[in-house]
Structure 1
């Protein structure tokens, strides 16, 4: 197996043409996350075959599941930025240390997530309106997921290392394989067979944890094959205060930003739940469709973060500016197609997942409005990724708090109760809050990136 950590590849992200690099990193990542979203679609589909209540329970579980996603993806983002910056600086020993310590940090963090999650889940579900059998289904699913938190964190941190190297293909391979495994595991574990008893909702959760375990083994193998850990010792896994602090300083703001997304979904779900389980289920299904449309954004985010971080380490600020501009152009082209597709086929897309008319109606209304928010997300996410790449992660927290918690609570209440728009007030609230947050992010990011560019006039572009 060829080493992915050669000097040639180390220099690639600081020398190769920016458009080529963005395509090279973003396309595999986007393909992988397409299958990851379809993975969630499989869960939603089979949950609906059990009952609408189970489908609603999976939707209700998502804000709490997002705790793991927030911590994992956030810490991975911070770790990627640190490793990539060290590579750009030519400090390969420091890059290796961040890689090893990142793995240790993730594993330790996962055990805290498991304990806190198990203790807090009953209260959080009750706050969202779950009770009796509905609450039991939610806890049955979510408690199993929390027990599997170490495997989730391992896949995130191992992928962070590969992302820093500009190699998004292994994670793509895992996500594609995970989708097909889920197609087999979900019906098998739900209905039983071949020595496995019927587990219904519990089976969906066990399938997810098992696939994460398989992914940890595969990604771990690819990280070792990359050569970045060459020369490392087991003793380097022992927590180092200074390195842990640096990982936390870069990772926790990114985690907090992602965590605010989970809180935002919690806030949205809280308001939607006042309109019934059908509204919750409709929103849950619609967000799956929205995620599919936004998949290219994920790839562009990863490409922007990796390219910006390595070029920031190499102090090639002109390439940073070019990377952001190119990513936004690609995002605009793709999202124009996404907007048209989601708007025109909203009802058909909802009908693929459910035959319940009220659920379809709620989801269709949301998607027709949300289709015009897709490029706002693209602009915001790419600029936040650029800020994280230059090791300026704190802005993400403040804009996250604004757009996910503070503004929605005020805007939703005003549109629902003062303007009497009903559930449409939530949909239009999401539209207005997201675009306002995007405007703020764009202004701040441009100011900071221009400041960085002005700091260095002698650079290679």
Structure 2
């Protein structure tokens, strides 16, 4: 899709065209994670708890990738919308190189400190070794995750949300084959147990990175005709870091929020950790359409902002919220009817099912709050006004959860359900503040 289409076709049509492939891809990505959860459950409940703990730790590592890739999409989109193709190409090359380099460094740091970090977040001794064997493999392949994110940001900036969708669909089916192959072994392939789940994931990431590189080369924004284009550039990096820091820190804080929540969940026992991990993945299924809409929102806002079409920027947020709320309400109904059955497919333990179902039944009422956050964050990134994202994120992800969870779990010693009710109050209060701020920023354009 060219920049003319992104700045001239009707916004509702473009939102559907961009968000449907993105949402479909995210659906298969979540199904991918559910396949991992299913196979971990076949190993043991401890393996499920290990997968939950190590996955949340990895989210901490890749948190900065989100800020970098969203900033890359916004900057390329602005240049692309202005028809400054050479500048867009230069930003793409230098941005991709930087993001992959950061991924390599963070992966190595995470690998060397994985064991104490797992203990820090409350991983019990009974499943610590399992969690470590999983996360070490994932961390060694973290540069591949970052490469996929970076290359996809280049494609999204040009209106291509289908290529990444294709990789996620492929990954889901490949994972079904690779997981049992590496978990149980076959022929010359040794049985790796839970580490086999991680090895399968890294292999899928390597294949997908090769495909996304091929698609990026076709856009013309990425090429290897001049290696100097990949070298660091202070001016581009300065703008890149300015745009990437608030959303990157926000995503990093989201990772910390998950780890903070996990720490308090461990106080209810390892079965609560397993139930929380299952419930979290099931919940993500219903949030996928909204995440797809936010990806489309970022692409449309950045391109139209670059083209100076401010009314189309405002229309994008309006339609993004309208579609997101509608899909969120549908998701609430689906989970309300099927939540318990979905959780029970991963672990037969009544305790695990109870914890997972409790989490889902409370969290489904937060969907509209999350939709507001996703759409407003994408809009602020697209108009290159991301600073408030950090402040709202700090309140929602770090300050308020630390206080609320401590009061609910440690001081008042309330039940597992009240953790998530407390989170709901935090989500909606911050969503309203962020929506009001975004409205003021758009009004002032």
SS, match of residue 224 in structure 1: helix
- Matching residue of 2:229: 236
1:81 aligns with 2:74: yes
The whole-number CA distance in structure 1 between the counterparts of 2:187 and 2:16 is 44
The whole-number CA distance in structure 2 between the counterparts of 1:245 and 1:143 is 32
CA contact (8 A) 2:19 2:293 kept: yes
Written as runs of structure 1 = structure 2, the 5 A alignment for 1:10-409 is 10-229=3-222, 232-409=225-402
CA contact (8 A) 2:314 2:442 kept: yes
CA contact (8 A) 1:186 1:207 kept: yes
What is the aligned counterpart of 1:441 among 430, 434, 437? 434
Q: Which moved more, 1:301-310 or 1:422-431?
A: 422-431
- Matching residue of 1:457: none
SS, match of residue 267 in structure 2: helix
SS, match of residue 444 in structure 2: helix
Deviations 1:368-409 (CA, angstroms, capped at 9, x unpaired): 111110111001110111000001112111111111111011
Q: Which moved more, 1:321-330 or 1:341-350?
A: 341-350
CA contact (8 A) 2:32 2:171 kept: yes
The whole-number CA distance in structure 2 between the counterparts of 1:209 and 1:220 is 17
CA contact (8 A) 1:96 1:232 kept: no
The whole-number CA distance in structure 1 between the counterparts of 2:264 and 2:292 is 31
The whole-number CA distance in structure 1 between the counterparts of 2:100 and 2:413 is 48
CA contact (8 A) 1:75 1:255 kept: yes
CA contact (8 A) 2:408 2:414 kept: yes
The whole-number CA distance in structure 1 between the counterparts of 2:411 and 2:98 is 47
The whole-number CA distance in structure 2 between the counterparts of 1:416 and 1:102 is 43
Displacement after TM superposition at 1:228 (Å): 2.4
The whole-number CA distance in structure 2 between the counterparts of 1:19 and 1:196 is 50
Displacement after TM superposition at 1:424 (Å): 1.9
Displacement after TM superposition at 1:438 (Å): 0.7
Deviations 1:185-223 (CA, angstroms, capped at 9, x unpaired): 000000000321100011111111111110110000001
SS, match of residue 345 in structure 1: helix
CA contact (8 A) 1:128 1:269 kept: yes
Q: How many residues align?
A: 445
Written as runs of structure 1 = structure 2, the 5 A alignment for 1:413-428 is 413-428=406-421
Q: Which moved more, 1:370-379 or 1:424-433?
A: 424-433
CA contact (8 A) 1:30 1:299 kept: yes
Deviations 1:215-274 (CA, angstroms, capped at 9, x unpaired): 110000001112223685122112222222222221222211111111000010111110
CA contact (8 A) 1:47 1:58 kept: yes
Displacement after TM superposition at 1:289 (Å): 0.9
The whole-number CA distance in structure 1 between the counterparts of 2:407 and 2:133 is 36
- Matching residue of 1:459: none
Deviations 1:6-33 (CA, angstroms, capped at 9, x unpaired): xxx1211111100010001000000000
Q: Any unmatched runs of 5+ in structure 2?
A: none
Q: Any unmatched runs of 5+ in structure 1?
A: 453-461
SS, match of residue 275 in structure 1: coil
The whole-number CA distance in structure 1 between the counterparts of 2:51 and 2:324 is 30
The whole-number CA distance in structure 2 between the counterparts of 1:230 and 1:145 is 28
The whole-number CA distance in structure 1 between the counterparts of 2:313 and 2:108 is 41
- Check 1:371–1:234 CA distance in 2 against 1; reply closer, same or farther (3 A cut): same
The whole-number CA distance in structure 2 between the counterparts of 1:306 and 1:415 is 40
TM-score, normalising length: structure 1: 0.94
